Homo-oligomer: A and B are copies of this chain.
Amino acid sequence: MMDADVPRTPARRRRDAAATRQAILDAAVAAFTRHGYDGVGVREIAQSAGVTAMLINRYFGSKEQLFAEAVDVAFAPRTVIAGTGDALAGETARALAARTAPEADELGPFLLMLRSAANPSAAEIMRDAIARHAGRHLGEELSGDAAGVRAELMLALQAGVWLLRSVLATTALRDAPQEELAAHMEPLFRRLTDPQ
């Protein structure tokens, strides 16, 4: 036959360890965000990445270590706060109202955090990640007394809004218009961002 000597190109992807590892990691971030640590199995993640479950242990050692790397990826970008200086409170409130809107099925570190918090091992991994990433980001913006406490209260308020509005979809927050909700949240953030 004519194609006897043509180099075969597998349907999915070349055999490339780095690319496979990255595909698994991307799938893991999405899956853990949508279903939480306990809510998703390694088979499901592997299938999304187009590989078999075995490769997860091959490249990451265990489900828990894969989760640790996924958390690091999800928490690294500075998505938790928006804007700087005087605009910090307003921008954060508006971004939060937009991203937790019922029609915006967005991902993001808060959903990963909320949906994995029940597992003690996952909680410990996330606590360390917060100290390394989010805490550091907010520490750059906030100054004055008790900057650490005020920064974590900002995170707490955001996490709570994500929980009630996005995860549980309680009626008042779900139905609130974006601008109105942002207007209610901005003074809360401002009380925390302004130096005291």
Contact = CB atoms under 8 A, between A and B. Distances in A.
Contacts of A176: 146, 149
Interface string A63-78: 0000000000000000
Contacts of A173: 149, 152-153, 156
Instruction: Classify the interface of chain A: helix, strand, loop or mixed.
Output: helix
Task: Tell me the number of copies of this protein.
Answer: 2
Nearest to A134: B170
Contacts of A171: 131, 135, 148
Contact of A167 (B37, B117, B135, B168): B117
Contacts of A82: none
Interface stretch (A15-23, A42-50, A157-165): A157-165
